[in-house]
Each structure stands twice: as structure tokens, then as C-alpha cells.
Structure 1
Amino acid sequence: MAILLQRQIEQLKQRVLYEGAMVEGAIAKAVTALVNRDEALARRVFAEDLEIDRMEVEIEEECLKLLALYQPVAGDLRFVVAVLKMNNDLERMGDLAKNIAKRVVYLCRAEPVDLQIDFRPMAAKAQDMVKRSLDALVNADAALANQVRQDDDALDEMRRQIHERLRAAIRANPNQVDTLLKLYSVAKHLERLGDMATNIAEDVIYMVEGEIVRHQEAD
């Protein structure tokens, strides 16, 4: 029974890592489409989100089956519980990538606005947090996971600065409000990607150390 459980847990880990790679790819495409105003690339994200949704359901079913059949304890139980939570966050990341892609489709067809916003630094920060949260999962690295938690405030500040500029632009250019609001939501979605990466990092800490750190300040 123990050997079977470990085999199932290893298979589950590989499926989550594949889901994570799919999510990273969708985010990368959405960001590239945003920077280059590439509608065709943005639309590719929509199809990938459907695949991520399918994987999320399958992984959840697999976790529930493991809990019912094997009744894992200690570290194995923490792993399955953490995967259940990470799986949901990864699916939400896929949704955020899709939402950014939807804004790109709109922006490609809208009249250009007077304000130039460079999303590349914020997008790079969000992508780095996602990557390192998944690296922390692969390596069961609680220290790396805690570094991801520490970076969340910096991403929040980048979002705040972009939103401040956009609010000023909306007041000055009310005729461009629809397009400016789309840019406003892009910044919010990038921030939320960082939030989801932080959630995954916190689940890694729980998985490795058995400590629930949500609602605690990062060291």
C-alpha cells in the first residue's frame, strides 16, 4: 500500500508540474501579446485556458481519490492538501492570463491612448514570482517560497504606481476612459498573478514545514 501511495503521489506531482508549465506558458503568451499588441497570440491563450481548466478538474479528482483510497498521513497528507490548494490557484492564474489576453484583443482594435504605460517591468516581476513559486514546489524549498512572499509588496507597489498614472489620465481624458480602464485592469491582473504565486509559496511552506503562514508577514 505504501509503495502504491508513493507512486501515486509522484504521478500527482508530475501532473501539477505540467499544469504549472502550461500556466507559465499562457502567462508568457499573454504578456508578449500585451507588449507587442499581438491579437493572434492573445487568442492562443484562450485555447490554453480550456486545457488548464480540464487539468484542474482531473487533478482535483485525483487528490480526492488519493485521500479516500490511501488515507495518507503526515507529510503525504500535507502534500495532497497543498496540491488541492495549489491546483485551484494555478487554474485562477490561467484565468488571469486569459483575462489579460482579452484586454489585448480590445486594445489591438481600440484607438491608441495618449498615455504610454510600460508593463514589462511589472509583468517580468509577476512572471518571476510564478516561476520561483513553482521551483519551490519542485525542490520542496521553503526558503525560496518565503522569498516569493517577500516580493509581493514590491509588485503591489508597481501596480499602485501604474494605477495612479491611469487615474490621472482618466481624469484628463474622459473620452478615452474605456481603453484606460482596460489598461487599469491589466495592472490589477498582473498583481493578482503575484498574489496567486504567493499563495502557492505559502502552500509549499505548509507542505515542507507543516506551518500555516497565510495571514502572517513574510520574514
Structure 2
Amino acid sequence: MSEDKTHIVSSFDEELTRLNNIISQMGGLAESQLISSIRSIVKRDSELAEKVILSDQRIDVLEQEVQDFVVRFLALRQPMADDLRHVVTALKLSNDLERIGDLAKNIAKRAQVLNQIPPIRPVSAIPNMAKLAQEIIKDVLDAYIEGDADKAHRVWERDQEVDDMYNSLFRELLTYMMEDPRNITASTHLLFIAKNIERIGDHATNIAETIYYRIKGEDLPGVDRPKNDAANFAVVEPNE
């Protein structure tokens, strides 16, 4: 290989590495945002919640950086096959990670309201659900960096656990609201928080599907599996 071609290949690889680094940075920020938003609920720390809200802009800036990078890279490099999938994957991932950041920000906004009213018992289930979502985010980012399709598949399978926790908490909160109208305000905010966490799990599984396709060049097996969102059909009977 000539010196010029070697330089071009090296430059090409360096640019893809830089793109990976931006995605990793976005993922780390999104994960941190989720952790901090939940901590602001557990600690009833409205100042921390405000920091989460203000920090969301950092993820937005990185998403724009990815978009600009991809447009420029496609125009100048005209990648093919695996390299093209690599670039398109990063673009899709940046969108899902930005949405995770937005959902964490929404949780922080709810936390600010919750912190002004007396806590109710179901709030204790929120950290467990968030911890599972955070583990899924971490694992799916590892799958991206390592180029591990099997790990991406395992992450995708774990979304069912998040759905099950959400459905259980949904029914518990409905029961709390029916038992005592004074619980309605806190329970409603917790319902929105739980739904935000469930949506974070959905975005993590979107990332897993994208990673699998990027590596294998085909859809993840079972990707058309219907989502088990029993909360949409939940019926809670009032106490006699």
C-alpha cells in the first residue's frame, strides 16, 4: 500500500474512532443524568434535580456534533458496506441517547414537585426500576464499543424486566390513589416517572437492535415480538 493510501486509511479510522468517542461520551452523560435524577427523588434534593435539568444541554450539543460529523463524513468519505452501517448506527444511537437524556430531565422536573409534598410508600420501587434501566444502558454501550452482537441481544431481552416492573408499579399506584385521594398528586407524578424509566428501557433496546444490525447486517431475531404493556389494559377494582 502506498504512503498516501496508508495515510487515508489511517485518517479514516481515526475519524470513526472519534465518532465512537462522542457516542461513548453521550452515553456516559445519559447514564449519569438518569442516576442523578433518581437520586434527587430519593434524597429529596431539588438542587440536584435542577442540575440535571440544566445539564441536559450538554447531550443536545453532542447530538448535534454527531449529526454534523455524519453529514460531513458521508459527503467527503462516501463510506460503503460496513463503514456505512457504522456511521448510520452512530447517528441512530445519538438520537436514542438524546431522548434518554430528555427523559431523565423530565424525571428531574417531576422530582422537584414530589420534593414539595409528603412521600408515599411506592416511591421506593422507583430506584429499583431505574437501577435496572441504568444497567441496561451501561451494557448496551459496552456492546457498542466492543462490537458484541450477543451482548446487544442479551440487553434487548432484559427490556421485559423493565416492562414487568412498570406494570407492577402501575397497578400499585392506582390502588394507592383509589384508597386515599390524598395520594393522587404524588402517585400521578410517580406514574409519569415510572413511564419515563420504561421509555428509557425502550430506547436502550432500540440501541441494542441498531447495534445488532450494524454488526450482523440483519435484524435481531424476535425484534417483532409484541411489547407486554399490561398497564394499557389494567383494571383495578375499588375496595368495597
Superposition TM-score, scaled by structure 1 size = 0.94
Q: Is residue 148 of structure 2 the alignment partner of residue 141 of structure 1?
A: yes
Q: 1:216 aligns with which of 221, 224, 227?
A: 224
Structure 1 residue 78 corresponds to structure 2 residue 101: no
Distance 1:151 1:115 in 2: 23
Amino acid at match of 1:108: N
* 2:85/2:214 contact within 8 Å kept: yes
Q: How does 1:92-131 map onto structure 2 within 5 Å?
A: 92-113=99-120, 117-131=124-138
**1:117 deviation in Å?**
3.7
Map 1:41-52; keep pairs closer than 5 Å: 41-52=48-59
* 2:54 is equivalent to residue 40 of structure 1: no
Gapped regions of structure 2 (runs ≥ 5): 1-7, 227-240
**1:215 offset after TM fit, Å?**
3.4
For residues 115 and 82 of structure 1, the distance between their equivalents in structure 2, rounded to whole angstroms, comes to: 38
Q: CA RMSD in A?
A: 1.7
Task: State the one-letter code of the partner of 2:105.
Answer: K
Deviations 1:57-109 (A, max 9, x none): 11111111111111101111001111110000000000011011111110111
What is the distance in 1 between the residues matched to 2:123 and 2:78? 55
Deviating more after overlay: 126-135 vs 103-112: 103-112
Q: Is the Cα–Cα contact under 8 Å of residues 52 and 91 in structure 1 kept in the other structure?
A: yes
Between the aligned residues of both structures, percent identity stands at 35
| Between 23-32 and 112-121, the greater mean CA deviation after superposition | 112-121
Structure 1 unmatched runs, 5+: none
Q: In structure 1, how many angstroms separate the alpha carbons of the residues matched to 2:123 and 2:208? A: 33
CA contact (8 A) 1:136 1:142 kept: yes
For 2:128 and 2:121, the matched residues in 1 are separated by: 20
CA–CA distance in structure 2, aligned partners of residues 212 and 64 of structure 1: 25
- Aligned residue for 1:16, secondary structure, equals helix
- Aligned pair count? 218
**1:206 maps to what in 2?**
213
Is structure 2 residue 72 aligned with structure 1 residue 65? yes
Q: 1:7: how far off?
A: 1.7
The question of 1:179 aligning with 2:224 is answered: no
Name the aligned partner's letter for residue 100 of structure 1: I
Structure (1 or 2) with the larger CA radius of gyration: 2
Pick aligned residue for 1:6 from 10, 13, 27 = 13
CA contact (8 A) 1:117 1:162 kept: no
